[in-house]
Amino acid sequence: MANLYAYTDGACSGNPGPGGWGALMQAHDGGRVVKTRELKGGEANTTNNRMELLAAIHALEALERPSEITIVTDSTYVKNGVTQWIHNWKKNGWRTAARKPVKNDELWKRLDEAQARHDVTWKWVKGHAGHEENERADELARAGMEPFKP
């Protein structure tokens, strides 16, 4: 059985400003890539954090059946949010520890729903540090942003 990976990234020109998200989806078998799929998109007026979230959401929503997948992100916001903070946010009615509304709660809810049907492992990598797949996800995110730039 192949191991699935999604390398995700978001980009923004200004924050807020035009933004894009990208996801490099790969199936690995025996240590080699056997299938690749690239996803990208963007919005005219958004933030980098929203684009980081949408990259992970679209990667999970692209899976046609429940799967085991490793999502690799360079966003500590996404990784910590989905693996640590989200549990208390849900328990507290989508409020932070300071009782303020969670920013981007509609995307966090969508991510929570998208990951619920899968067995997801979350990994963080340092961005812009020569990680080949992360660099490709960044290229996809920038390409997704292009139609929205003035």
Q: Sign (positive/negative) of CA torsion 139, 142, 147, 149?
A: negative
**Rounded mean pLDDT for each run of 10 residues along the chain, 150 residues in total:** 91 96 96 95 98 98 97 98 97 95 98 97 94 97 96
CATH of the domain at 143: 3.30.420.10
Nearest Cα to Cα of residue 77 among 69, 85, 89? 85
Domain count, the chain: 1
pTM exceeding the 0.85 threshold for the entire prediction: yes
Nearest Cα to Cα of residue 118 among 1, 4, 22? 4
Nearest Cα to Cα of residue 136 among 47, 58, 39? 39
Structural domain that includes position 42 = 3-148
pLDDT given for residue 1 in this prediction? 61
**Residues with a known catalytic role:** 9-10, 52, 74, 128, 138
> For the packed helices 48-61 and 132-145, what is the interaxial angle rounded to 10 degrees?
110
Give SS3 for 48.
Answer: helix
